[in-house]
Structure 1
Amino acid sequence: MAEDLTITRNTSKEEQYQSIIPQIEALLYGETDFIANLANVAAALKEQFNWFWVGFYLVKQEELVLGPFQGPVACTRIKKGKGVCGASWQQAEIIIVPDVEEFPGHIACASASKSEIVLPLIVNGEVIGVLDVDSEVLNKFDETDKTYLEQVISIILNK
């Protein structure tokens, strides 16, 4: 099912999330294919917020493997504990990085990336992947992003 999103950019970040989240729910409604849903979520978030990179890495054996994303080409495989994504996987926690240059072991998939937020996708107590969002602006992500992106993850995982 094709959907047109209503993009709102001249409002607060919170209002933008409040606008896009019901649209994401509608976009995923009735679709059971996990990869298709990840692809549409990445596209919807990229369109709404115009972030540098939005995408998913999925746990396959002992690595995170690149999944659906929007943005420039990316690292294909990430080891557990390596970089922000690998750390989020290992710790099963959300990580907000105001300046990626200050994060020990940061993996520079794209030099234009300046700040990042990574959220684990947890099913039955096990991390199955991560949502990775990068910005070319320092200190772009905060508790508002954390709160609303957790809601997005919940929508995805409860399909």
Structure 2
Amino acid sequence: MTGQALAHGDMHGKAPAAKKEQKEWGIAGDAKSVNRTITLVMDDAMRFTPNAITVKQGETIRFVVQNKGKLMHEMVIGTRAELDAHAAMMVKFPNMEHDEPYMAHVSAGKKSNLIWTFNKAGEFDFACLIAGHYQAGMTGKITVAAR
């Protein structure tokens, strides 16, 4: 997590800067390297559809993250430990700004793109970390199959 502290709402609708920082769950991808597109729907029932995704190690995925709800939602990719820690911070500081290439913040009725390269095999997670959403079960799994 970065030390940014802008208002959470100030960044919505803006594309995150593509920081090429290697994470345990991969690295920011480039549009020209996309292997396939996966549409992910978020709703006010605090669910993702689909909530389980399988990709191959090395694949670059364009997630089209669609918010069919009336509330702001987001998709944040990470490990369970990272998401747990970030969710706890969001409860304490609900207006905390976070803007990383593994996050997509989507206003009600809108959609956004998130491009990510899964260059490490393993089991990873994604979630909406808006206060209360994660706690209500707005989570999913990403399985990255080894080459």
* Normalised TM-score (structure 1): 0.34
Q: From the two aligned structures, give the one with the greater strand fraction.
A: 2
RCO comparison, higher one (Cα < 8 Å, 6+): 2
Q: From the two aligned structures, give the one with the greater helix fraction.
A: 1
* Normalised TM-score (structure 2): 0.36
State the structure with more CA Rg: 1
